[in-house]
Amino acid sequence: MVQKLDDYRYLLPKTFREGMKVEGLIYANEELIGAIERDQTMMQVANVATLPGLVGRSLAMPDAHQGYGFAIGGVAASDIHKGVVSAGGVGFDINCGVRLLASPFTLEKVRPKLDALLNQMFRDIPCGTGRKGVMGGLSAEELDSVLENGAHWAVKKGYGTQEDLDHLEETGKIPNADPNEVSRRAKERGRDQLGTLGSGNHFAEVQYVTEVFDSAAAQAFGLREGQVVVLIHTGSRGLGHQVCTDYLEVMQEAMKKYNIVIVDRQLACVPIQSPEGQRYLKAMAAAANFAFANRQMITHWTREAFERILGNGNLRIVYDVCHNIAKQEEHKVDGSTRRVLVHRKGATRAFPRHRPEIPKDYAEVGQPVLIPGSMGTCSYVLVGTEQAMEETFGSSCHGAGRAKSRTAAKKEISAEKLVQELEAKGIRVRGASKSGLTEENPNAYKDVSQVVEVVHNAGIAKKVAKLVPIGVIKG
């Protein structure tokens, strides 16, 4: 049985299902736990707890919902020597993530030119399924360089500055990436997709800061009330999807060799130190670097659009976070510091102040945690905490979390009516397809404000600022 620990934490004891090696812990309030109980999320948290070599607890954030093997919103850490890596614990959109850009403009300056700005961004940023990048197809050598160097490749090509890199998780380059471990099929899928937004829940939103909760952190992040910002949400496109597909097959076959038995075939995994585990981590890092470069290119197109329409393209990167990643990190486990592999699938790193991994200018406040809402609702900036390090391997939620399937969402409302409703709220929309809009209508998601209140009140991330959209670009 699930045990309610307090208003924001629910424990799955090892007796919840046979084979659990560690406990499960779900962050939620009463309403959100009700939503979590309606799909397979809870059982997926318990299933993950059966994997060999896990340390701490199998975790789920308040935006958690059913995913492939691991719940989306799941966090799990493996002992680096005795544990396993699971491709399903990262997911198909490797390094799907969010980047926040702070503009020099107020809402009053942007609103009169908003339509022109959105039209320019919609022209400059390729959106939708199958859209090709502005650059055209990359050569094999150039693509390998992207996979190895991530956002550093883009900056070297003139699409940004060193200051940009200083404000990206891992400086926009996951180490130990090896393009040779990425299949020809994956490379072919990604070759002409650099600088593209894609479809699904990916977006570029023009927003403004409506409320500041933590003035010291907001000042450090360069955010103030009334300021226009841009939030970019996209990932590694077809390349990352294919990397996951490829290595799920590798892992499912290799488990026989390592005598690993799992309760759900979607949890396919291999020992971290095995040849297959190392190959996956090198390929995953390469796909993650593609995503960093992708967001860097979209940042460049966004800056150009602001320059053309508003006369100033000086948009400063506040931060860029990964949502789907597995990373080696040092954490305290049972009182001692250990190196572990942290799977974050639909979860955001939330490190506190003075951690060496975060930008120097944020050292006194902590790492920005970027939480996008659904289309037409608000988003949030939070900051990481010490409590997150103690409880969640320095992790927080990553968004609102789906409450309805895309099929169900499409049946609820027409694209025309959705656009009318959003424009009645003062939100302009540009979409590559009608189905792309209706799939992502706000009613398909949980209430992002409730999700954020849970992590805030649980102490694993603290609210800094609230952002409200005025313009949305969707794939």
Side-chain-facing half-sphere of 336: CA atoms under 13 Å:
4
Chain Cα centroid distance, residue 352:
18
Please, are residues 433 and 199 in contact by the beta-carbon 8 Å criterion?
Answer: yes
**At 234, which amino acid appears?**
T
Please, are residues 85 and 281 in contact by the beta-carbon 8 Å criterion?
Answer: yes
Dist CA 82 CA 463 (whole Å): 36
Catalytic positions, written as ranges: 398
> Would you list the DSSP string of 159-195?
SS-HHHHHTSGGGG--TT--GGGS-HHHHHHHTT-TT
Count of residues for the chain? Answer: 475
CA dihedral (198, 176, 392, 72) positive or negative: positive
Dist CA 228 CA 224 (whole Å): 9
Please, are residues 211 and 465 in contact by the beta-carbon 8 Å criterion?
Answer: yes
**At 392, which amino acid appears?**
T
What token pair was written down for 417?
Answer: 């009516």
Residue in this structure with the two tokens 């506040």, named with its chain if needed: 318
Query: DSSP state, 138?
Result: P
CB atoms under 10 Å from CB of 189, counted, come to 18
- Which residue, 156, 168, 116, is CA-closest to 311? 116
Dist CA 7 CA 28 (whole Å): 8
Q: Which helix (H) or strand (E) holds 408?
A: helix 406-412
CB atoms under 10 Å from CB of 443, counted, come to 13
CA dihedral (261, 262, 268, 269) positive or negative: negative
Give 207's contacts (C-beta < 8 A, 6+ positions apart): 228, 229, 230, 231, 379, 467, 468, 469, 470
